Amino acid sequence: MAKQQDKAKVIEELRERVRSAKALYFVDFTGVSANDFNEMRRRARQQQLSVKVVKNTLVERVLEEFGAPAGVNEILRGPTSIMFSLEDPVAPARLLREMKDRMPAIKFKGAYFENTVYPANQFDFLATLPTKDDLRAQLVGVLSGPISGLVQVLSGLLGELVWVLEQLPGLTGEKAPDAQ
């Protein structure tokens, strides 16, 4: 009975994590030392990520409840840890790429976010995607370019108008009114 309650507790915790996550990354840490694995967890926490080791059958059950495509089941074969991203869906890929040099035994198995399964062969694609902040900065740059051009054109036209108005009194032989 206690084992059944423990299993229910793990499933409920997993549901909450999946519900709040922007992305799930599936990784095999077989062959990674405990110290390196703990270092990975620490670095993950700094980036609003969490790493959890859960039985594949429990993960399959929860993901099925959330309507995950069948491709996720193919990824969940063999030893699997899940990296949950709470903010940026591609942050785990960048962290894994960064840690790969120190821990060559890490194996990216796949990812799941925005109702799409990304198999292991798309890891490099995911790791090179820009962050949301990068995309926002690019958008601001794209939008501000035409606006600043318009401001410069209008400023130039205004300057020319002022110059023409200053010349008008001289053309008619009248004196310019005193500025008050």
What is the domain extent for residue 105?
A: 2-129
Residues 82 and 20 in one domain: yes
Query: Residues 117, 75: contact at Cβ < 8 Å?
Result: yes
Same domain, 90 and 140: no
The number of distinct structural domains making up the chain is: 2
Q: Three-state DSSP class for 111? A: strand
- pTM, rounded to two decimals: 0.72
Q: Give yes or no for residue 13 having a pLDDT over 80.
A: yes
User: pLDDT (tens digit, 9 = 90+) per residue, 60-73?
Assistant: 989 988 888 877 88
Residues 117 and 44 in one domain: yes
pLDDT digits (tens, 9 = 90+) for 24-76: 999 998 998 989 888 989 999 998 899 998 889 899 989 988 888 877 888 98
154 or 78, higher pLDDT: 78
Same-domain status, 30 and 118: yes
Are 21 and 75 in the same domain?
A: yes
Compute the distance between CA of residue 123 and CA of residue 150 in angstroms, rounded to an integer.
Answer: 42
- Pair (28, 81) in one structural domain: yes
DSSP-assigned letter for residue 1: -
93's CB contacts (< 8 A; 6+ apart) are: 25, 108, 111, 123, 126, 127, 129
Largest alpha-carbon pair distance within the chain? 106
User: Of the spans 30-39, 135-144, 166-175, which averages the highest pLDDT?
Assistant: 30-39
Do 51 and 114 lie in a common domain?
A: yes
What integer best gives the mean pLDDT of the chain?
84
Query: What CATH number corresponds to the domain at position 89?
Result: 3.30.70.1730
Residues 78, 12, single domain; the answer is yes
Q: In this structure, are 46 and 101 located in the same domain? A: yes
pLDDT at 92 over 90: yes
